[in-house]
Amino acid sequence: MSVQNNTRRSRFSRALAVFGAAISVSAAVEGGRRPKNTDLRALGIDPQSFDRLG
């Protein structure tokens, strides 16, 4: 397997992880729950800053 294929697979995996985190955070907020810290971090949101919103 070449380095290019590994890089492509890594980028794709990262994109899926971010997309999944976005769905999870969206569902939690819409349901009136607090999102998981790991999902917030995956989106580049500081969990402590999120607590200060709203």
Structural domain of residue 43, as residue ranges?
Answer: 3-52
pLDDT digits (tens, 9 = 90+) for 3-38: 777 888 899 999 999 999 999 999 999 999 999 999
pTM attached to this predicted model? 0.80
Residue 46, φ and ψ in degrees, nearest 5: -75, 120
Structure tokens at 12: 């794709």
How many domains is the chain built from?
1
The band of 1, judged by pLDDT with boundaries at 50, 70 and 90, is: low
23-47 residues labelled b (16+ CB within 10 A) or e (exposed):
ebbeeeeeeeeebeeebbebeebee
